[in-house]
Chains A and B, each alone.
Chain A
Amino acid sequence: MPTKSKKTAPKTPKAKAPDPPAFTQQKSRVIAMTGIRSFIGSNLLQRLQQEGRHQIVALDLEKPEFLKPRTRFYKLDLTSTTADVTLSEILEQEKCDTFIHLAFLSRPTHKSSYAHELESVGTMYIFHACAKNKVKKLIISSTTMVYGALPINPNFLVEESPLRGNRNFHPIRDRIEVEEQAQSFQKKHPEMVVTVLRPCTILGPTIRNFITTYLGLPVITTLLGYDPLMQLVHEEDALDAYRLAVERDCPGVFNIVGRGVLPLSTIIKLSGKIKAPILHAVAYPLIDGLWLAQVGIAPSGYLDYIRYLWVADGTKARKELGFFPKYSTKETLETFLGIQRLRAIHLVE
């Protein structure tokens, strides 16, 4: 009988930072930002303010407290019908040359028509205003969910893959429309730099989004027998990606993902929670019923994302944007679990 050798566990790809692409001129820009009360918006704004190099124009419904006097604030309601006129005036007055659009919802909402107005139509207004005022650079926030979770997905979705997200499901359809608008805008205005960043699930110590709620449940719902691979990106790395997009002029679409993957069952087991597998045939109507009764945390369109594969490939971001994630998926998860434990004993809010 031959000896049976024990293999060491396969390690995630070794962490080696690549050579970054050449820096574009480090000039000071006038940046207009929407969605400044979201996680990425507020943190990015505060960091840019601290840096002090760029002039920032903040656009949102309410003025937050962390704005410094140098940052100008304008009230802008993207769901109103004259939003593009208002925005165009603001851009002209402030002579903005960069626009960062982060006004997207981070959680599923019952108000689907409001969400459509904000995400899809609001983005259209922004493109109108930017085209009119010849804004030189646009950064749009998207998500890897637009690729869709299908059993026929390859193990690494590259940026050129077709967007096969479920168009009957409103949140994903709105995001796909945003992406399509961005593509057609770039085609019409090839001299503008349109960067679309697609981060996968963001986790970390301070972020609160839909996924932190899902992993914070005492009993986590999954589908019986399905265990897709998941990837996570740390919040610091996601912010770093946006900062790089602001500083470097890289047109195109980029997947922002962490290193390595983990199956969903391992994520649940490492967090010490109990799985509640539901048979897939009954899961969809059941989750929809719970959502309509305002008990569930999400509609059933998101169940596909814990059933099939939707792992994206981050090599293009590494090569062209110079984005290198410092945290692997497992390390991100461990940071998040640590903070959850501190929250459970009320040591951190």
Chain B
Amino acid sequence: MGNPNILGNDPLKKSGPEGKPVQSPGLRLKLLNPLAETKEAPGPREGHRSRETDDLLDNGFVPSPRLKKSRKRLRKAAVRIQNLDEALGKRVRLIEDRIEDSFENLEKGMEEILHRLNVPAPELGNLEENLKKAVENYEQKFESVIGKIETSLPRAQERKAVITKIKTPIEKGQQLLQPSFYRDLWRKFSMLGTGDEVDEFGLDTVFEDRIKPMFDFLYDKWWRVEAEGIANIPDSGRVLLVANHSGTLPFDGAMIKLAVRNYHPTRREVRPLVENFAYYFPFIGNFMAKTGSVRACQENAVRLLEKDEVVIVFPEGIKGPTKYYKERYRLQRFGRGGFVRLALKTHSPIVPIAVVGSEEIYPIIARLDFIGKILGFPIFPITPTFPWLGPLGLVPLPSKWHIRFGTPIRLDENPPESIDDQILINHISEKIRAQIQDMVYELLKKRKSTWRG
């Protein structure tokens, strides 16, 4: 019957869809062509045996009676079994090979581990002991050298000098070979003028200290500024300073800053508010930020005052520094009262400041604004020195300055709704303007000469 497989089917029996045995096409062909010689054995005969059946029978296979009858079927079975046997043998050999390989790898790995454990490598082993050994080695070498020097030069000073002579060039040479040395050198060089920390508005105290000597010279020697009433600025807390503006370049702001910095009891830092146009140009905005100026807008100013800083505004705006020499010391309109609104919102006192002497540093006798528009500047002034002497014309004239700080004006008695009261704000703004104008006239009366005081 043949050996049934797991499914219970006889593998040697080909069954069709209805379970009936199907004639294989080979048989049909044979029937069609009876003259073709079949290679099959004609029938079970004792003489005809094939190699496979021999193997099979030798291995102890006991064929069933049906198989015994048909040698052909036996041979087929034998062939199939032999194929299976070969495949199984191959598989087994593959698995054996793999097991052998893995064993070899294991052995190698074990050998390596043992090897490493045995060898006294510097990574493994006791770090402390190794360090101690290294230090001892070094000390021994050093001592031997020192010993030689000691024996040859008994005096301690000579000994020390020779040792440092030997050591320092070696160390310096080693340093020079490292690229990080050059990078650190470049860092130190480029950081000479700047600090590595800035406050949140960009003020850089190291930069300020570096340029202070130039401004000190302008303050003490060039313009010989006399400032009075600095103590009117409170020692702490927020203050809003209001001053008149003149002189083409904002030197008056710089001088007021320096006066408060040098002469105020608590040396307060004054933060000027700068108009927008300065930040459109290349170098100006950068310089302004580093020395503590801040762009003039409501958010910035409110933030500064709420941090209890001293803020100075020049409400005349650009109209102040660009007026003609013949209109000097006549204060222009004080903007739209924004500074009064600021003071009301943040409840800060206002200190009016009058500056005399800054009108004469660049006396503008004419203006060619169309040239300025081409270059992007708001004005192009013609002074007795400017376009003719070239860059020398930018040197300001050495007039004598007087700065008067007025008494603080408190706006607290105004109710909080007055922020929206435009008429009240304009009124306060005009009052302050008039007060500063009076202070300016007083200082002008006292002044005997423009250049000598």
Whether A and B are associated in the same complex: the answer reads yes
* Residues of A near any B CB (own CB < 8 A): 1-2, 4-13, 151-156, 158, 223-227, 229, 260-263, 265-266, 269-270, 272, 274, 280, 308-309, 330, 341
**Min distance, Cβ B220 to any Cβ of chain A, angstroms:** 8
Given the known interface contacts A2-B263, A9-B195, A269-B191, the answer about A263 and B200 at a Cβ–Cβ threshold of 8 Å is: no
**B194:A265 contact, CB within 8 angstroms:** yes
Contact partners of B201 in chain A: CB under 8 A: 155
Contact partners of A6 in chain B: CB under 8 A: 209
User: Closest chain A residue to B203 by CB distance?
Assistant: A10
Determine the interface band of chain B, counting residues with CB < 8 A from chain A. 35 or more
Contact partners of B297 in chain A: CB under 8 A: 152, 154
User: Closest chain A residue to B277 by CB distance?
Assistant: A151
Q: DSSP class of A's interface residues: helix, strand, loop or mixed?
A: loop
Interface residues of B in 270-307 (CB under 8 A from A): 276, 279-283, 285-286, 289-290, 294-295, 297, 299-300, 303
Q: How far is the CA of A326 from the CA of B203 in the complex (A)?
A: 23
Residue among B220, B279, B280 with most chain A CB within 10 A: B279
User: Closest chain B residue to A2 by CB distance?
Assistant: B262
Given the known interface contacts A154-B300, A270-B187, the answer about A9 and B197 at a Cβ–Cβ threshold of 8 Å is: yes
Q: Mind listing 10 A-B residue pairs with CB under 8 Å?
A: A1-B220, A2-B262, A5-B267, A156-B303, A225-B281, A261-B202, A262-B197, A262-B198, A266-B198, A330-B197
User: Closest chain A residue to B301 by CB distance?
Assistant: A154
**Partner among A5, A261, A280 whose Cβ is within 8 Å of the Cβ of B200:** A261
Contact partners of B263 in chain A: CB under 8 A: 2
Contact partners of A280 in chain B: CB under 8 A: 282
**A229:B289 contact, CB within 8 angstroms:** yes
**B300:A155 contact, CB within 8 angstroms:** yes
Contact partners of A11 in chain B: CB under 8 A: 197
- CB of B196 closer than 8 Å to a CB of A: yes
**A10:B295 contact, CB within 8 angstroms:** no
- CB of B445 closer than 8 Å to a CB of A: no
**Min distance, Cβ B312 to any Cβ of chain A, angstroms:** 17
**A13:B200 contact, CB within 8 angstroms:** yes
User: Closest chain B residue to A153 by CB distance?
Assistant: B295
Q: How far is the CA of A274 from the CA of B182 in the complex (A)?
A: 12
10 nearest interchain CB pairs?
Answer: A225-B282, A10-B199, A151-B279, A225-B283, A154-B299, A272-B183, A227-B286, A269-B190, A272-B187, A9-B197
**Min distance, Cβ A339 to any Cβ of chain B, angstroms:** 15
**B262:A4 contact, CB within 8 angstroms:** yes
**B212:A151 contact, CB within 8 angstroms:** no
Q: How far is the CA of A226 from the CA of B289 in the complex (A)?
A: 11
User: Closest chain B residue to A308 by CB distance?
Assistant: B279
- CB of B407 closer than 8 Å to a CB of A: no
- CB of B421 closer than 8 Å to a CB of A: no
Q: How far is the CA of A152 from the CA of B275 in the complex (A)?
A: 9
**B186:A272 contact, CB within 8 angstroms:** yes
Contact partners of A266 in chain B: CB under 8 A: 191, 194-196, 198
Contact partners of B209 in chain A: CB under 8 A: 6-7
Contact partners of B332 in chain A: CB under 8 A: none
**A270:B285 contact, CB within 8 angstroms:** no
**Min distance, Cβ A327 to any Cβ of chain B, angstroms:** 14
User: Closest chain A residue to B303 by CB distance?
Assistant: A156
Given the known interface contacts A2-B262, A151-B279, A224-B282, the answer about A12 and B200 at a Cβ–Cβ threshold of 8 Å is: yes
Q: How far is the CA of A237 from the CA of B110 in the complex (A)?
A: 47
**B197:A12 contact, CB within 8 angstroms:** yes
Interface residues of B in 205-235 (CB under 8 A from A): 205-206, 209, 212, 220
Q: How far is the CA of A270 from the CA of B195 in the complex (A)?
A: 10
Q: DSSP class of B's interface residues: helix, strand, loop or mixed?
A: helix
Contact partners of A5 in chain B: CB under 8 A: 267
Interface residues of B in 252-267 (CB under 8 A from A): 262-263, 267
Q: How far is the CA of A158 from the CA of B298 in the complex (A)?
A: 13
B170-200 contact mask (Cβ, 8 Å, vs A): 1 or 0:
0000000000100110110011001111111
Q: How far is the CA of A280 from the CA of B199 in the complex (A)?
A: 27
B152-175 contact mask (Cβ, 8 Å, vs A): 1 or 0:
000000000000000000000000
Q: How far is the CA of A112 from the CA of B276 in the complex (A)?
A: 34
**Partner among B194, B202, B276, B289 whose Cβ is within 8 Å of the Cβ of A152:** B276
Contact partners of B299 in chain A: CB under 8 A: 154-156, 158
**A7:B200 contact, CB within 8 angstroms:** no
User: Closest chain B residue to A7 by CB distance?
Assistant: B205
Residue among A153, A263, A280 with most chain B CB within 10 A: A263
User: Closest chain A residue to B290 by CB distance?
Assistant: A263
User: Closest chain A residue to B294 by CB distance?
Assistant: A155
Contact partners of B283 in chain A: CB under 8 A: 225
**B282:A10 contact, CB within 8 angstroms:** no
User: Closest chain A residue to B262 by CB distance?
Assistant: A2
Given the known interface contacts A155-B294, A272-B183, the answer about A226 and B202 at a Cβ–Cβ threshold of 8 Å is: no
**Partner among A9, A151, A155 whose Cβ is within 8 Å of the Cβ of B303:** A155
Q: How far is the CA of A22 from the CA of B283 in the complex (A)?
A: 48
Contact partners of A8 in chain B: CB under 8 A: 205
Contact partners of A9 in chain B: CB under 8 A: 195-197, 205-206
**Min distance, Cβ B451 to any Cβ of chain A, angstroms:** 23
Contact partners of B205 in chain A: CB under 8 A: 7-10
**A4:B187 contact, CB within 8 angstroms:** no
User: Closest chain B residue to A3 by CB distance?
Assistant: B262
Q: 17 other contacts beyond A9-B195, A9-B197, A154-B299, with CB at 8 A cut-off?
A: A10-B205, A152-B276, A152-B279, A152-B297, A155-B200, A156-B300, A225-B283, A260-B197, A260-B200, A261-B200, A262-B198, A263-B289, A266-B198, A269-B190, A272-B186, A274-B186, A309-B279
Given the known interface contacts A4-B262, A156-B299, the answer about A151 and B199 at a Cβ–Cβ threshold of 8 Å is: no
Contact partners of B220 in chain A: CB under 8 A: 1
User: Closest chain A residue to B202 by CB distance?
Assistant: A229
**A225:B286 contact, CB within 8 angstroms:** yes
Contact partners of B190 in chain A: CB under 8 A: 269
Q: How far is the CA of A152 from the CA of B2 in the complex (A)?
A: 99
**B196:A4 contact, CB within 8 angstroms:** no
Q: How far is the CA of A69 from the CA of B201 in the complex (A)?
A: 50
**A263:B198 contact, CB within 8 angstroms:** yes
User: Closest chain B residue to A231 by CB distance?
Assistant: B200
User: Closest chain A residue to B209 by CB distance?
Assistant: A6
**Min distance, Cβ A270 to any Cβ of chain B, angstroms:** 6
User: Closest chain B residue to A279 by CB distance?
Assistant: B282
